[in-house]
Amino acid sequence: MSQDHPIAKRRGRPPDEKGRLRALAAARDILMSEGFGRLSMEAVAAKAGVSKPTLYRHWANAQELAMAALVADTSAETPAAGATAKDRLTAQIEGLVAAFATRRGRQIAMTLASADPESEFTRAFRNRVILAGREGGRAILETGVANGEIGKPQDIEIMLDMLYGPVFYRLLVGHQPLDEQLGRRLVEHVWICLACRPE
């Protein structure tokens, strides 16, 4: 069984950051206005004014691009420079919640619930949402440890599960809403569990 990776390293020329951002914006526009079924690499390339090879340097397929577009820059408020690790983590999880609270996000969740676990769609969700989100959270926690905001978790994998697990559980099971306060509450509870603040 192949191992998933949140970001695949690809050979070739260095990625074009401006082209990547235009592609994400174009993909998000298509996703929100026309739906997942109408999003293709060809359509995004044409709308963004970039080449298909540029897209493939960042994303393996249209499913990965759709997932990246859904969760890109979704936080209502980006933390200011010098923000604490707690603020950055809260903003990241709030952005994730906001993405899947949209109509398109809910539609993607319904598709995921019935998808083959080894389908390209499910792999894209795992790589571009779950694993990439966890790696972002890991980096934020490590920064918090390094600058003395928090103590080092005994098991960082469990801590990441505690942070992101409830989001995806609510998303796929639907027993509780993905409300705007969820991200902040999750981070608050993790901070308490770790007794993070130094004395």
Q: Do 176 and 170 touch, CB atoms closer than 8 A?
A: yes
Q: Say what the pTM is.
A: 0.77
Give the pLDDT band of residue 151 (cuts 50, 70, 90). confident
Pick the closest to residue 190 from 144, 128, 146, 147 (CA basis): 144
Binning pLDDT at 50, 70 and 90, where does residue 76 land?
very low
- Residues 23 and 45 occupy one common structural domain: yes
Higher pLDDT residue, 162 or 196? 162
Decide: helix, strand or coil at residue 25: helix
What does the pLDDT average to over 109-119? 85
User: Do 147 and 196 contact (CB within 8 A), yes or no?
Assistant: no
Higher model confidence: residue 198 or residue 18? 18
Residues 107 and 53 both lie in one domain? no
In a domain, 106, yes or no: yes
Which range marks the domain in which residue 153 is found? 85-194
Helices 85-100 and 103-114 pack at an angle, to 10 degrees, of: 80
Residues in the chain: 199
Whether 11 maps to a domain, the answer reads: no
